[in-house]
Amino acid sequence: MPIGTSGTRIEPFLLRPWFSERVWGRKSLLPWYGETGTAEPVGEAWLTGPQCVVETGLFAGETLADVAEELGGDFPLLVKLLFPEEKLSVQVHPDDAMAHEVGEARGKTECWYVLEAEPGATVALGLKDGVGVKEVEAAVADGSLESLMQYVPVAVGDMLFVDAGTVHAIGPGVVLLETQQTSDVTYRLYDYGRPRELHLEKGLRAMKTKTKAGKIAPRAMDGFTRLIEEQYFVVDRFEVASGEVVMTLEGDGCLVGVAGSGVVRCGEEEIPLKKAQTVVVPLGSGPVLVSGDGLAFVRCVAPVQVGELQL
């Protein structure tokens, strides 16, 4: 149920990121973050995760999961920053149909917006032509699965679509802003010998030999750049050299600062927006004004027609 139909207007609020320790992550997340609260490698900063704590407004001090439960809804997008120091596993995510079969709320379709990329950085996105379940199973057994993948060079500003069922992997040398369905269901097919659980049976069921995964060309819109528009999310980039922009989100969403700083205003509320910070904008918040000087931010929105329970 969207907030707009709950009878209570919920104004935007700032969320504190939650840092996820990963074997493939980094000890330092500078210049994005200083302290992470752990000495272990961090691979992901969850920006709209259920554990993220609200820092402003009516729900200050509560987690996003608490807020969703109180409102009888669900925040449909999990937005993260990814910081790989080493290769992620070769993995695949289920679509909605398979997720429901195995008792999960939803599948996991995602996209990656490249914020940093070293020269020569690549991601593995999909299988080579002619590769099927038998070839993947055999390659997992003999350690050659990487040779069956298609590799895509990436640069700052690239947007990549990763629909459910795409066998994929992320290499080092990048920082990615990931927007996905709210799900943490991942089936590892191959993990370079690291002692982590694999999910071969489910992964082979989930994988598709042909998907729509790949780079998405940006589109110039009226005052912003549309990076991707898919069933589960719409992602746009805004540049506010000076002055302000006004917007109304057509679904639950968030604003993520990627450069500079600014302020988000809605009603009486005034919220700072800085690099690597996230402001959640629930459906029904009304017009939102964003002002800044040299501010760049990304807007991630879940279209209402998806039919999810939403905030």
Backbone angles phi, psi at 57, to 5 degrees: 80, -165
Rounded Cα distance between 150 and 62, Å, is 43
What are the C-alpha distances in Å from 170 to residues 152, 158, 227, 236, 285?
10, 14, 20, 22, 36
Token pair in block for residue 93: 């995510």
Rounded Cα distance between 193 and 165, Å, is 23
Which residue is listed with tokens 């990304």?
Answer: 298
Q: Which of 26, 106, 188, 265 is an active site residue? A: 188
Q: What are the beta bridge partners of residue 274?
A: 261
Q: Is 188 part of the annotated catalytic residue set? A: yes
Rounded Cα distance between 186 and 283, Å, is 28
Pairing verdict, β 42-46 and 77-82: antiparallel
Cis peptide leading into residue 287 (ω within 30°): no
306: which DSSP letter?
G
Catalytic residue ranges: 188
